[in-house]
């Protein structure tokens, strides 16, 4: 069995988070409350927690980021095409 990960991260707005991760990347939504959204992302658990702290915009992928490692290139290409079709912004072209 492959190792799975759980990642919790701060967000400012649940609706915007759902639009990006669920509509945009195709994550499967799970439990949701006004302060958190749990999602399945390629078998891994993402938890978006609403924070009242000011979230600064990053100028690059550092320091906050996470990624998936694909064993099959076609799976990456499928996710990249979905993100492009949903007009998600990329830091750099896939």
Region at 43 (left for phi over 0; alpha for psi -120 to 50; beta for the rest): left
In a domain, 18, yes or no: yes
Q: Which residue has the higher pLDDT, 1 or 4?
A: 4
**Ramachandran angles phi, psi of 40, nearest 5°:** -100, 120
The CATH number for 23's domain is 3.10.180.10
Evaluate if residue 1 carries a pLDDT over 70. no
Taking all residues of the chain, what is their mean pLDDT, rounded to a whole number? 89
Q: What's residue 61's pLDDT? A: 77
Domain count, the chain: 1
Q: How far apart are CA 15 and CA 3, in angstroms?
A: 29
pLDDT classification of 92: cutoffs 50, 70, 90:
confident
Least confident window among 5-9, 39-43, 58-62, 72-76: 58-62
Range of the domain at 46: 6-52+64-85
In a domain, 39, yes or no: yes
What's the pLDDT tens digit per position in 48-82? 999 998 888 878 877 777 788 888 999 999 999 99
**What is the 8-class DSSP label of residue 42?**
T
């Amino acid at each position: 069995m492959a190792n799975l990960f759980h990642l919790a991260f701060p967000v400012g707005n649940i609706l915007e988070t759902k639009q990006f991760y669920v509509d945009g990347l195709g994550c499967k939504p799970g439990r949701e409350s006004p302060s958190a959204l749990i999602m399945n992302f390629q078998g891994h658990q993402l938890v978006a927690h609403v924070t009242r702290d000011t979230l600064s915009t990053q100028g690059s992928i550092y320091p906050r980021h996470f990624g998936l490692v694909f064993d099959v290139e076609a799976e990456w290409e499928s996710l990249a095409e979905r993100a492009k079709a949903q007009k998600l912004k990329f830091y750099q072209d896939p």
